Amino acid sequence: MHPRIEDYAVVGDEQTAALVGKDGSVDWLCLPRFDSAACFARLLGDEENGHWRIAPKDAKGPCTRRAYRPGTLVLDTEWETDEGTVRVTDLMPQRDRAPDLVRVVEGLSGRVTLHGTLRLRFDYGSVVPWMRRSDGVRVAVAGPDSVWLRSEPAVHTWGKDFGTHSEFTVGEGEKVAFVLTWHPSHEPRPPLVDPHEALRASVADWQAWADRCRYRGPHRDAVVRSLITLKALTYAPTGGIVAAATTSLPERLGGVRNWDYRYCWLRDSTLTLNALLAAGYHEEAAAWRDWLLRAVAGDPADLQIMYGLAGERRLPEFELPWLAGFAGSKPVRIGNEAVNQLQLDVYGEVMDSLALARRSGLSVKPHMWAIQCAMVDFLQTAWQQPDEGLWEVRGGRRPFVHSKVMVWVAADRAVRALEEYPDLPGDPDGWRTMRDEVHREVCEKGYDPERNTFTQYYGSRELDASLLLIPRVGFLPPDDPRVIGTIDAIRDELDHHGFVRRYSAHKTGVDGLPGSEGSFLVCSFWLADALHMTGRTKEARELFERVAGLANDVGLLAEEYDPVTGRQLGNFPQAFSHIGLVNTALALFGGDEAG
C-alpha cells in the first residue's frame, strides 16, 4: 500500500528538506537545495527511485509512535518489538559547507536487530550511481553528485540489487549514528560532522528559536509547530520561503493536478510577513522583505508571480515520465509554467507587504518607494486587463474579482503612504482616481445584487473563496451587507463536508483542468477570519479548531484535504496552510492572551 501524504514528517536545514515516512524510510530529498534534483524519489515512484530506510529487521509496517522533540525539527521514531524498543532520530543540522542527513539509532530496551537499505538514485530517481569504498566509507558518484555514507561506530555494509544494505543490533543505551553527506563530485570531501554534537546543537538551536514566539494563547503548540515549519521552508542564504518542500503531490488522487511548489510565491508575502511579525520574528520578516525587494526589482511589466530561491526567473516546466507519480497520479512535473502568467493581484500583495513592513518598523530601503511607485504607475495602464488570477488557472484569462480588488489595494496603499509621508514623491491625484475607478467597477461588475454576493469574475455566477479577503484588505468594511452576503454564500455554496473549496472546479471549466480537488485548507482559515471580523467569533473558533485538527500526528498540513476519504492532498508541508493557521490563531485568540 502506498503511504499517505500525512504519513510523512519533514526534517531540514533551511536549504533543503527530507520527508521521512512512518516506516522509517526517507522517501524524498533534493540536494543541495529545495529545487535541486531529488536523490530519493520513492515519494513519487517506488523503491527503485531512491530511498533510505532504517527499521527493525522484521518490521513490515509503520512505527509504534513518533514525535518531534518539543520546539524543534528533530524527529524521533520508535518501534516496540518482541526483542525490545528502539528509536531512530532524524535531523539535518545547520550546514557549514555541505548538507548532512543524520540518523541516530538508539536502543531503549532489550536488544533489537535493525536493517538498513540505502538506494541512491540521482536526478529524480533516474540515475544509479557508482558505489565504492574509501577508508571504510561508502561513496556514491554520478556526474555532478557525490554522496558519502559513514557510521559511528562502523557498521558492516554490503551491496545487493543496486542498493547498500546493513544489519546491526543495539542494546539498551547503545547508539549507532549514520551520516549521509552530499558535495559536488569535483570537490574534495567536506569536513566530517559529529552526529551526536549535531543532534545536541540542533535541539538547542531550534528550541531557542521556538522560545522567541511571543504568542501565549490557546493552541500555542500548533502555532509554534507552524512557525517552525515556515522556518524549515526558508532558504536561509536569501530569506526566500518556498511554498512547499515537494513537487507533484496530487490535489486529487490519480488526477493531473500535480504542480511543483519548490519556489517562492509573491502572493504569500503579506500573510507570511504578518505571521512572522505578529509572532515576534522580525529578523525573519526582514529577510523575507529583502528577498521580495530583490526579486521584484526591474520593469514592473515583467513582474512574475513566483521566483526561484535566489530570485531566479526561469522555471521551465517539464515532465518526468519514468516516475509513476504519488499513488499513480501523473504527470510528475518539474518547474512551473504558471511563472509566465499575468496575475494582477500580486502587485497588490507586494504593495501591501511593503506597507506592512513600513508600519511594523522594519528598516526602509532607499529604493523601496521607487519600486512601489513604478508598480502603481504600471497598473494605471494595465489594471483593466483580464488575467489568470491567484489560482493560476489554465483555462484562459478572465476579469477575476480578487485580482481587481488587489489592484485597488495597490493604489490604496500608495495613496495612504503619501498621506502619511507627504514628502514622498508620487501622483496622489492619479492614484486616487485609479483607486476610485477600480472600486466602482468591482462593485458594479463583480457583484450579483440578486444573490447579494460578489462573484468569481465579472458576469459570473460562480463564487471564489478569495472573496473572503475583501474585508481583510479593507476594500469594504466587515459590516457591509455585501460582505456578509458573500461570506454566507461562500459558506453555503463552496462547502465541502464542513470545509471550503477554492471554487467550483467540479462544476465549471474555469481552470481548464479535468476532475475536481479537495478542500483548500487556507480557504477554511480565511472563512474563520471573515466570520470573526463579522462578529461570529464562536463559529470562527469552531471552524479553526476543526481545520487545525486535520494536522497529522506531528502537526503538519498539506495544501488540501479530502473529507470524503479523510486524506491530505497536495504538496507537503504547505506554507500557505501553516501561515493561515498562525494568522487565524493570532486573530481569534491573540489579544490579551498573547505575551
pLDDT at site 1: 67
Q: What tens digit of pLDDT does each residue of 234-263 get?
A: 999 999 999 999 999 999 999 999 999 999
Across-strand partners of 19? Answer: 10, 28
What average pLDDT does the segment 520-534 reach? 98
Residue keyed to cell 460578489:
454
471 by DSSP, 3-state: which? coil
Local structure of residue 387 (DSSP, 8 states): B
Note whether 18 and 90 are within 8 A (CB): yes
pLDDT at site 195: 98
Name the residue among 463, 590, 483 with its Cα closest to residue 535. Answer: 483
CA–CA distance, 86 with 76 (Å, rounded to integer): 10
Q: How far is CA 333 from CA 120, 248, 259, 324, in A?
A: 21, 6, 6, 11
Using 50, 70 and 90 to split pLDDT, how confident is the model at 167? very high
Note whether 560 and 518 are within 8 A (CB): yes
Phi, psi of 287 (to 5 degrees): -65, -40
Residue keyed to cell 494563547:
217
Using 50, 70 and 90 to split pLDDT, how confident is the model at 511? confident
89 by DSSP, 3-state: which? strand
Using 50, 70 and 90 to split pLDDT, how confident is the model at 507? low
71-80, 167-176, 361-370, 553-562: which has the minimum mean pLDDT?
A: 361-370
Residue 567, pLDDT > 60, answer: yes
369 by DSSP, 3-state: which? helix
pLDDT at site 480: 98
Name the residue among 106, 128, 120, 145 with its Cα closest to residue 50. Answer: 120
pLDDT at site 595: 33
- Enter the C-alpha cell of residue 53: 530506510
CA–CA distance, 354 with 250 (Å, rounded to integer): 33
Can you list the domains of the chain with their CATH numbers? Answer: 5-209 (2.70.98.40), 213-589 (1.50.10.10)
Using 50, 70 and 90 to split pLDDT, how confident is the model at 506? low
- Enter the C-alpha cell of residue 357: 513592513
321 by DSSP, 3-state: which? coil
Residue 505, pLDDT > 80, answer: no
pLDDT at site 263: 97
Note whether 270 and 353 are within 8 A (CB): yes
Q: What tens digit of pLDDT does each residue of 12-64 get?
A: 999 999 999 999 999 999 999 999 999 999 999 999 999 999 999 989 889 99
Residue 497, pLDDT > 90, answer: yes
Q: How far is CA 495 from CA 38, 465, 470, 543, 563, in A?
A: 37, 10, 19, 12, 11
Residues above pLDDT 90, as percent of the chain: 91
CA–CA distance, 467 with 513 (Å, rounded to integer): 22
Rounded to 10 degrees, the C-alpha dihedral 152/153/158/164 comes to: -20
CA–CA distance, 411 with 414 (Å, rounded to integer): 5
- Enter the C-alpha cell of residue 364: 526602509
Across-strand partners of 54? Answer: 116
**Residue type for position 360:** S
Across-strand partners of 568? Answer: 561
Q: Report H helices in 297-343.
A: none
Which of residues 513 and 450 earns the better pLDDT score?
450
What average pLDDT does the segment 562-591 reach? 96
458 by DSSP, 3-state: which? coil
Local structure of residue 360 (DSSP, 8 states): T
pLDDT at site 592: 45
What average pLDDT does the segment 500-517 reach? 79
**Residue type for position 364:** V
How would you label 81-118 residue by residue, b for 16+ Cβ within 10 Å and e otherwise?
Answer: bebbbbbbbbbbbebeebbbbbbbbbbbeeebebbbbb
| Residue 204, Cβ density class (10 Å: 0-12 exposed, 13-18 middle, ≥19 buried) | exposed
Residue 319, pLDDT > 60, answer: yes
**Residue type for position 204:** A
Q: What tens digit of pLDDT does each residue of 463-489 get?
A: 999 999 999 999 999 999 999 999 999
Mean per-residue pLDDT over the chain, rounded? 95
Residue 594, pLDDT > 50, answer: no
Using 50, 70 and 90 to split pLDDT, how confident is the model at 517? confident
Note whether 98 and 33 are within 8 A (CB): no
CA–CA distance, 253 with 518 (Å, rounded to integer): 10
Q: Is the peptide bond before 573 cis (omega within 30 degrees of 0)?
A: yes
Q: How far is CA 433 from CA 103, 240, 430, in A?
A: 61, 35, 5
Residue 382, pLDDT > 80, answer: yes
What average pLDDT does the segment 408-415 reach? 98
Note whether 350 and 266 are within 8 A (CB): yes
Q: Is the peptide bond before 32 cis (omega within 30 degrees of 0)?
A: yes
Q: What tens digit of pLDDT does each residue of 341-357 get?
A: 999 999 999 999 999 99
Residue 593, pLDDT > 80, answer: no
